[in-house]
A and B are shown apart, each in its own frame.
Chain A
Amino acid sequence: MVLTPILTAHWDEADSYKLEGYKRHHGYVALAKALKSDPDSIIQTVKDSGLRGRGGAGFPTGMKWGFVPQNDGKPHYLVVNADESEPGACKDIPLMLANPHALVEGVAISSYAIRANHAFIYIRGEVPHVIRRVTNAVKEAYAAGLLGQNIQGSGFNLEVVVHAGAGAYICGEETALLDSLEGHRGQPRLKPPFPAVAGLYASPTVINNAETIANIPYIIRNGADWLKQWGTEKSPGFKLFAVSGHVKRPGIYEAALGTTMRELLEHAGGMRDGHTLKFWIPGGSSVPMLTEAHLDLPLTYEDMAAAGTMLGTGTPMVFDETTSVVKAVSRWLQFYKHESCGKCTPCREGTYWISGLLKRLEKGEGQETDLEKIDELCQQIMGRSFCALGDAAATPFPGAMKHFRTEFEAGVRTAADIAFDPAATTIFSKANV
């Protein structure tokens, strides 16, 4: 498969984030086209394109839009989930820094399609510069008559609000995001009702990931079939792959879905010199890890699922042999404990317990029964928590145990820092140790 600089095509231009720069490359042509067509035909085009959500779950976007009841007399809302916080995920942030207008145009088209006159872009709070760039893009679009009242004489009105979060990973969960956007604690809501029926302010709401929405202008302008030239039948299109970790050239690689990790690794210059791959994770800490053996699997929703993991956010984290997998998993569990919203018992108490057990394994102070216990506790969370955060927290340990059991067993006696020199794991290991 191939690299496909589309969303990233012009990031090296000085004004890529400005209206002028965006317009230079067909910017807002798709919106003009959309406003002249029937909203339902836009939904159909997106359905036909097979576009799947880029936030992690991969739900078909057009189908999600189709769930919104029409002519129900209620206001509809579009909410962009730009709360990118999953460990490993780092693709929406660069996208919004470099090409915010693709998102804004996508918002306008998507809102028009689902008959929303109000859209919100919920961006995590810890990234002020991203908020600046998106806010500015929205302002420019308003000034150019691309947002606001009677957009381009179409009679379509759209208000767009850029909204900053305040530090809570759980708000990436769509119903928690809605509660947060309504000014509450970001705890997930009971479903049903689903957001498409009763979401923001109890009105029909579509929540899409930022990258998903940024795809829309390109699909509308070039057509559904254009997207399908890449990827597979079940995973059409391209994706922002963010490769991080012990590779020579970590960074953003936009490529066709179905590209293999081996190809991505090659693009990223391979592992850093003198080191070998130990494990990699295709899409955020919430999906099970893979090893060398899986490098030739196509990065698609279906192939990753078949391998017992998930494409997730499509942001592979790559670790070499210097890495303590015990420490890696322990850190992730600290994260889930910190980010558990507290609503449901398995996640709240389970992450508290497991993170404590992993910490002592990391210190080499574990007990013989700890591994079995942690495994059981993970099972006690998996499938029983209120939302997917609990499942996510229950994922890293069993995934890691599958490949690195002995390393965990050593945790009963040997501290991770003894088994693996932490200095060797750092990227400045030569420069600064």
Chain B
Amino acid sequence: MTIDNTPVELVTLTIDDIEVQVPKGTLIIRAAEQLGVQVPRFCDHPLLDPVAACRACLVEIEGQAKPQPSCAMTVAEGMKVRTQVSSVMADEAQKGVMEFLLINHPLDCPVCDKGGECPLQNQAMTNGRGESRFDGEKREFEKPINVSDRERCVSCARCTRFADQVAGDPMIALLERGSQQQVGISDDQPFDSYFSGNTIQICPVGALTSAKYRFRSRPFDLVSVPTTCEHCASGCSLRTDIRRGNVMRRLAWDDPQVNEEWNCDKGRFAFPYVQEGRLNQPLVRGEDGLLHPASWTEAIDVAAKGLAAASGATAVLAGGRHTVEDAYAISKFARAVLGTDDVDFRSRPHSTEETQFLSSVVAGSGLGVTYADLEKAAHVVLVAFEPEDESPMIQLRLRKAVRRGRTKVTAITSHVTSGNKKLNATVIATAAGHEVSALSELALDANTIILVGERAASVTGLLTAATKKAKESGAKLAWVPRRAGDRGAVDAGLLPGLLPNGNSLTDSSAREKAADIWNVENNTLPFAAGRDFGAIVHAAVNGELKALLITSVDVEDTQHSASTLQAIENTPFVVSLEIRPSSITELANVVLPVAVVTEKSGTFIDWEGRPRNFGQAIREHNKLTDGRVLAMIADAMDVLLGQQDVAQLRAELAQFAAPTNRVDAPSHGADVPNGLTLSTWNQLIDDGALQEGEPFLAATSRNVIAGLNSKTAAAHSIAEGDLIEISTSLGSITVEAIFVDGAENTVWLPTNSGESKVRTNLGAAHGNIVTIKRGGGQ
């Protein structure tokens, strides 16, 4: 973390005769807040450019004949400000504006979603007049089909400014003029922004409402709980609103260090999975070969016996959704209970180079590059990383930095994307798999930040090159994983050869210390580094494993879904800890239902390395955490781990000191693929398992297409709009070809969207060789 020691220049002024000192450049409205004076406001929003349109915040400034908008005027030395508290001029001006705002506003508060949490309603009460003097006809607009009530709109332009300034998706705009002015979208281009939900939240009236939440609840019936988003590694603070044990909605919570006041639509809307189609009871495969509901006692017993019987040939596939506490519990269970180091959270393509990179550079490194650093950096280089899809809050923060004009962004990626356009990025169009040389050629300095994404793992030499580049140039390097639990899993040691907090399993003193903390004999812990996810799958396919413990893995994420399923089928005994039925639970011998994020407390470590603690939002469901379930299994295996509640796990993990002997940094040379390669990443809104059951969200996903350079297309006799077939030896995908501004000899596919199921159908990773041909026709 960078600590900014620049002294802040202060300005002294008086507000309502009270002297106050605030940093130079502070807006009057903010200075007043510091004194506890709430000046009314609608268009004002601290994260949007001032517009001074609503005029609700007019205040008197000594020496000025007219009242001035406090939301747009900055403080000056010696300024004398009078708000409604001490100025008749300000009070009358504010009341007048409030009256104007209400003349055309429908009095439908009783049926309006915003009722009860509405800035207009609230400020009408505090700063308005009791009775309306307006006796004319209120303005009406034709009802459009989308969810906006334009009569309620006060033309504050928060939504349009958000879309334009913050998201860079100006598909919502003010239409018409004067008293007919209204917010609208174009008929033929819907508001398909990954961030559209924020406009609902910042609407100061009920003009924009959520299709999902509309007419469903009242704010005063909701219990609000601070939570952390589980959908990616951005680490957004959320507010989850609960009614009678059900999540009614999720909002972005204000966290200036992380998500500011925003979140993405996935984080906001993708929560039906927490209550629909859940596993509610343990299942045990009977002699009839079918899964049957079982008691917890029975299921735990079967699991314990099966795992004990497989001793010496067990492995753990952990997935990337866990809280750090659960990840730690799994890490510990593998080593201390199962005695195996065959453990890995990376259910997506990975490499030994990545294992080394994560173990040496990332694990236990604490808070590294921060959002604030991104905002201050002169140059940010995106390597194999698409922030808009893979970490939307990084996208927003970079856009903010770029709009301020201090930061430039370079993207090493296959083609110009909508996301990097919004960052005004210099795109170094690079065929997938060829990123190493592109990165090596960049001239970087200490004011640069390199952000490297998940798919770097499948480009040989890239993580080595990034590490080296950072070291040589003094640039800062951060790894941005895609999943909320990935960084915590690394810190918890869910990798072969890696103990918690970056300690190496092969470091005997570290291993001793672990045995001590875990209260087991040193010699029960594995002493050689185990197999990674791919190697475990490979071994299992070959029948080399007797038991698998699988937690929160979706086969669709794994390098080749069919192989993963084969691995499970070929393993005699499989225990699955899951939240919902899946193709893995179907094959498991024992299925143990576990809690989702809303049902437990815990911590996600975001990409920065920042712990994001959250409490339990829903208590009614009585679901157990992975840690508790594993403690019960351990108990049944005669290994006493204690309760393994969240607090215990957290405290235990903290006992792992920083490593004295780190794993060596990776040193892999580039291995450039020779042929047409696949560029691929997961789009933000796709067919991910946690997004199920939200049709409004799914409707905003992007079209499934294959993107390729026109020259490459021509070389394969492909015209834009043609259906093309992308193949590997394992299968093929047929989608429409769209020309993109990008590198030759590479084709882009979304990893897990509609027809394009890269893992399932191609068994391929980013940078792998694929073949393309025209297929299907128009």
Residues of A within 8 A of B (CB): 168, 185, 190, 337-346, 348-353, 356-357, 367, 373, 379-380, 383-386
Q: Is B674 an interface residue (CB 8 A)?
A: no
Residues of B within 8 A of A (CB): 50-56, 58, 65-67, 72, 93, 96-97, 99-101, 103-104, 133-137, 139, 154-155, 174, 176-181
**Bound CA–CA A384/B95 (angstroms):** 12
Which A-chain residue is minimally distant from B98 (CB atoms)?
A345
A168 and B93 contacting across the interface, CB-CB below 8 Å? no
Query: What's the nearest-Cβ distance from chain A to residue B179, in Å?
Result: 4
User: Which of chain B's residues have a CB closer than 8 A to the CB of A352?
Assistant: 103-104, 139, 178-179
B179 and A348 contacting across the interface, CB-CB below 8 Å? yes
A346 and B97 contacting across the interface, CB-CB below 8 Å? yes
A-B contact pairs, 19 of them (CB 8 A): A339-B178, A340-B179, A342-B178, A343-B53, A345-B54, A346-B96, A346-B100, A348-B155, A349-B104, A352-B178, A356-B136, A379-B96, A380-B93, A380-B97, A380-B99, A384-B66, A384-B93, A385-B55, A386-B53
**Bound CA–CA A357/B72 (angstroms):** 32
Question: Within the complex, which residue of A341, A357, A373, A385 is in contact with B178, where a contact is CB–CB below 8 Å?
Answer: A341
User: Which of chain B's residues have a CB closer than 8 A to the CB of A385?
Assistant: 55
**Bound CA–CA A380/B98 (angstroms):** 10
A350 and B100 contacting across the interface, CB-CB below 8 Å? yes
Which A-chain residue is minimally distant from B65 (CB atoms)?
A383
B177 and A353 contacting across the interface, CB-CB below 8 Å? no
Which B-chain residue is minimally distant from A185 (CB atoms)?
B174
**Bound CA–CA A357/B134 (angstroms):** 10
Query: What's the nearest-Cβ distance from chain A to residue B656, in Å?
Result: 53
Which A-chain residue is minimally distant from B177 (CB atoms)?
A342
Query: What's the nearest-Cβ distance from chain A to residue B337, in Å?
Result: 64
Task: Contacts A190-B51, A344-B54, A383-B67 given; indicate if A373 touches B133 (C-beta within 8 A).
Answer: yes
User: Which of chain B's residues have a CB closer than 8 A to the CB of A383?
Assistant: 65-67
Interface on chain A toward B: helix, strand, loop, or mixed SS? helix
Query: What's the nearest-Cβ distance from chain B to residue A124, in Å?
Result: 15
**Bound CA–CA A286/B134 (angstroms):** 25
B176 and A342 contacting across the interface, CB-CB below 8 Å? yes
User: Which of chain A's residues have a CB closer than 8 A to the CB of B135?
Assistant: 367
**Bound CA–CA A385/B93 (angstroms):** 10
User: Which of chain B's residues have a CB closer than 8 A to the CB of A346?
Assistant: 55, 96-97, 100
**Bound CA–CA A338/B178 (angstroms):** 7
**Bound CA–CA A353/B137 (angstroms):** 9
**Bound CA–CA A341/B181 (angstroms):** 8
State the 3 A-B residue pairs at the shortest beta-carbon distance, nearest first.
Answer: A342-B181, A380-B96, A349-B100
Query: What's the nearest-Cβ distance from chain B to residue A190, in Å?
Result: 6
A384 and B96 contacting across the interface, CB-CB below 8 Å? yes
B139 and A343 contacting across the interface, CB-CB below 8 Å? no
**Bound CA–CA A349/B134 (angstroms):** 11
User: Which of chain B's residues have a CB closer than 8 A to the CB of A339?
Assistant: 178
Interface centre among A346, A349, A352, A380 (most CB of B within 10 A): A349
A345 and B101 contacting across the interface, CB-CB below 8 Å? yes
User: Which of chain A's residues have a CB closer than 8 A to the CB of B103?
Assistant: 349, 352-353
User: Which of chain A's residues have a CB closer than 8 A to the CB of B137?
Assistant: 356
Interface centre among A351, A379, A383, A384 (most CB of B within 10 A): A384
Which A-chain residue is minimally distant from B156 (CB atoms)?
A345
**Bound CA–CA A136/B762 (angstroms):** 65
Interface centre among A168, A185, A344, A348 (most CB of B within 10 A): A348
Query: What's the nearest-Cβ distance from chain A to residue B5, in Å?
Result: 30
User: Which of chain A's residues have a CB closer than 8 A to the CB of B55?
Assistant: 344-346, 384-386
Query: What's the nearest-Cβ distance from chain A to residue B766, in Å?
Result: 39
**Bound CA–CA A353/B132 (angstroms):** 12
Give me 11 other A-B pairs in contact (C-beta within 8 A), A384-B55, A384-B58 excluded.
A185-B174, A190-B51, A340-B178, A340-B179, A342-B180, A344-B53, A345-B101, A348-B178, A349-B104, A379-B96, A385-B55
Question: Within the complex, which residue of A345, A356, A380 is in contact with B56, where a contact is CB–CB below 8 Å?
Answer: A345
**Bound CA–CA A349/B55 (angstroms):** 12
Which B-chain residue is minimally distant from A359 (CB atoms)?
B136
Query: What's the nearest-Cβ distance from chain A to residue B195, in Å?
Result: 22
User: Which of chain A's residues have a CB closer than 8 A to the CB of B104?
Assistant: 349, 352
**Bound CA–CA A263/B481 (angstroms):** 82
User: Which of chain A's residues have a CB closer than 8 A to the CB of B174?
Assistant: 185, 342
Query: What's the nearest-Cβ distance from chain A to residue B248, in Å?
Result: 32
User: Which of chain B's residues have a CB closer than 8 A to the CB of A190?
Assistant: 50-52, 72
Query: What's the nearest-Cβ distance from chain A to residue B78, in Å?
Result: 19
A386 and B52 contacting across the interface, CB-CB below 8 Å? yes
**Bound CA–CA A190/B97 (angstroms):** 19
**Bound CA–CA A350/B178 (angstroms):** 10
A345 and B154 contacting across the interface, CB-CB below 8 Å? yes
**Bound CA–CA A168/B136 (angstroms):** 26
B52 and A340 contacting across the interface, CB-CB below 8 Å? no
**Bound CA–CA A255/B51 (angstroms):** 42
**Bound CA–CA A356/B99 (angstroms):** 16
**Bound CA–CA A223/B581 (angstroms):** 90
Query: What's the nearest-Cβ distance from chain A to residue B55, in Å?
Result: 5
User: Which of chain B's residues have a CB closer than 8 A to the CB of A168?
Assistant: 177
A345 and B178 contacting across the interface, CB-CB below 8 Å? no
Query: What's the nearest-Cβ distance from chain B to residue A378, in Å?
Result: 11
**Bound CA–CA A247/B505 (angstroms):** 102
User: Which of chain A's residues have a CB closer than 8 A to the CB of B154?
Assistant: 345
Query: What's the nearest-Cβ distance from chain A to residue B26, in Å?
Result: 16
Query: What's the nearest-Cβ distance from chain B to residue A344, in Å?
Result: 5
Interface centre among B101, B133, B178, B180 (most CB of A within 10 A): B178
Task: Contacts A348-B155, A384-B67, A384-B93 given; indicate if A342 touches B179 (C-beta within 8 A).
Answer: yes
**Bound CA–CA A345/B102 (angstroms):** 10
B178 and A380 contacting across the interface, CB-CB below 8 Å? no
User: Which of chain A's residues have a CB closer than 8 A to the CB of B54?
Assistant: 344-345
**Bound CA–CA A384/B72 (angstroms):** 14
Which B-chain residue is minimally distant from A340 (CB atoms)?
B178
**Bound CA–CA A380/B72 (angstroms):** 20
User: Which of chain B's residues have a CB closer than 8 A to the CB of A344?
Assistant: 52-55
User: Which of chain A's residues have a CB closer than 8 A to the CB of B139?
Assistant: 352
Query: What's the nearest-Cβ distance from chain B to residue A356, in Å?
Result: 4
Task: Contacts A190-B50, A384-B93, A386-B52 given; indicate if A353 touches B180 (C-beta within 8 A).
Answer: no
User: Which of chain B's residues have a CB closer than 8 A to the CB of A357?
Assistant: 136
Query: What's the nearest-Cβ distance from chain B to residue A184, in Å?
Result: 10
Query: What's the nearest-Cβ distance from chain A to residue B29, in Å?
Result: 14
B96 and A349 contacting across the interface, CB-CB below 8 Å? no
User: Which of chain A's residues have a CB closer than 8 A to the CB of B177?
Assistant: 168, 185, 340-342
User: Which of chain B's residues have a CB closer than 8 A to the CB of A185?
Assistant: 174, 177
User: Which of chain B's residues have a CB closer than 8 A to the CB of A338?
Assistant: 178
Query: What's the nearest-Cβ distance from chain A to residue B446, in Å?
Result: 28
**Bound CA–CA A356/B100 (angstroms):** 14
User: Which of chain B's residues have a CB closer than 8 A to the CB of A342?
Assistant: 155, 174, 176-181
**Bound CA–CA A251/B31 (angstroms):** 55
Query: What's the nearest-Cβ distance from chain A to residue B643, in Å?
Result: 59
User: Which of chain B's residues have a CB closer than 8 A to the CB of A379?
Assistant: 96
**Bound CA–CA A350/B102 (angstroms):** 11
B97 and A384 contacting across the interface, CB-CB below 8 Å? yes
Query: What's the nearest-Cβ distance from chain A to residue B568, in Å?
Result: 58
Query: What's the nearest-Cβ distance from chain A to residue B135, in Å?
Result: 8
Query: What's the nearest-Cβ distance from chain B to residue A69, in Å?
Result: 18
Task: Contacts A380-B99, A383-B65 given; indicate if A349 touches B179 (C-beta within 8 A).
Answer: yes
Which B-chain residue is minimally distant from A373 (CB atoms)?
B133
User: Which of chain B's residues have a CB closer than 8 A to the CB of A343?
Assistant: 51, 53, 155, 181
User: Which of chain A's residues have a CB closer than 8 A to the CB of B56?
Assistant: 345
User: Which of chain A's residues have a CB closer than 8 A to the CB of B181?
Assistant: 341-343, 348
**Bound CA–CA A341/B174 (angstroms):** 11
Query: What's the nearest-Cβ distance from chain A to residue B717, in Å?
Result: 40
**Bound CA–CA A342/B66 (angstroms):** 20
**Bound CA–CA A373/B51 (angstroms):** 29
Question: Within the complex, which residue of B53, B100, B176, B180 is in contact with A380, where a contact is CB–CB below 8 Å?
Answer: B100
**Bound CA–CA A384/B57 (angstroms):** 10
A337 and B179 contacting across the interface, CB-CB below 8 Å? yes
**Bound CA–CA A331/B325 (angstroms):** 72
Which B-chain residue is minimally distant from A353 (CB atoms)?
B103
